[in-house]
Amino acid sequence: MEGVHCDNGDCTLNNVWWEDVCEDALSIKGGSSRSVTKVIGGGARGANDKIIQHNGLETVSIEGFYAQDFGKIYRSCGTCAGMQRKVIIKNVLAVNGGVSIATVNKNWGDQATLENIKIKGKKLDVCQWSDGTSSGNPMNIGAGPSGSLCMY
């Protein structure tokens, strides 16, 4: 089952809750480099992979979010050729995550800013990065704070 789709950027989701996430809870497409999609409050449980998939151009802001039993809270598209994306993640409680809070693409100039992230349960990366690719799966190449790529 598909989740919520934001097809033109500038979406705001207030206190939306997802149970048993399938592929992803929120897919963000379209928009411009000036658009901002906001996820305020709410949360998700049971996401084997990612909760929020960012394929658009805009900035994504996630604040006051709860995540439990998930792979990644946020994933910048790893196969959407050469577009820079930005994410701001604040005041998040992550319980039993599997991979990372955020995964971004180094070679496309993505920027992740994370603040006041609380992690309970399994150890996971706060921020990891890959090299995006136009074909195949992106390769994870690192994790941790790194300049504007992963700031926390």
Distances from the Cα of 152 to the Cα of 23, 29, 87, angstroms = 27, 26, 12
Q: Smallest Cα–Cα separation from 4: which of 103, 34, 17?
A: 17
The residue ranges of the chain whose pLDDT is under 70 are: 1
pLDDT at 50: 96
- Write the pLDDT tens digit of every residue in 56-73: 988 999 999 999 999 999
Residue type, 71: G
- Write the pLDDT tens digit of every residue in 29-58: 988 889 999 999 999 999 999 999 999 988
pLDDT at 136: 85
Domain count, the chain: 1
pLDDT at 77: 96
Query: pTM score, two decimals?
Result: 0.95
pLDDT at 1: 57
| CATH number, position 50 | 2.160.20.10
pLDDT at 9: 85
For residue 52, give its domain range.
4-151
150: Cβ contacts below 8 Å, ≥ 6 apart = 102, 104, 112, 114, 126, 127, 128, 129, 143, 144
